[in-house]
Amino acid sequence: MEYRDCVEIKGLLVRAIIGINEWERRDRQDVVIDICMFTDTRPAGRSDDIADALNYRSVAKRIIALAEASQFFLVERLAEEIARICVQEFGVPKVRVSVEKPGAVRFSRSVGVTIERETADFEDR
């Protein structure tokens, strides 16, 4: 089934240990996360009941906890773990995750990665 609806979390700012350089392993850096969780919002749209909705506050709290406790070397790994949480823990059938490190490269606003994952990507885990 193709999901056309997207529950979004935009610009989630966290502080994380991430990177390969010595100072990156020691000092927390700003990381900006955008998440688009593809799902069917029609049940919540009809009922106006949180029980029928994807609770984005719960998702955000879980992602913040992951990022702040993590010590990944790569933004790709952080993005993969965020996608896994959305799919496996919150039942999202498909997710797009962007993770950016502002100022990671001189003269750029940010550097990052965007991935898309769905249920089948995590079936072997």
CATH number, domain of 109, equals 3.30.1130.10
Give the Cα separation of 68 and 33 in Å (integer): 12
CA distance 118 to 40: 14
Q: What pLDDT score was predicted for residue 84?
A: 98
Structure confidence by residue, pLDDT tens digits, 37-70: 999 999 999 999 999 999 999 999 999 999 999 9
Query: What is the C-alpha to C-alpha distance for residues 93 and 6, in angstroms, rounded to an integer?
Result: 11
Q: Count up the domains in the chain and report the number.
A: 1
Supply the pLDDT for residue 125.
62
What dihedral do alpha carbons 16, 21, 22, 28 form, nearest 10°?
-20
pLDDT confidence of residue 48: 97
Q: Which domain holds residue 24?
A: 5-122
> If pLDDT is split at 50, 70 and 90, which confidence band does 103 have?
confident
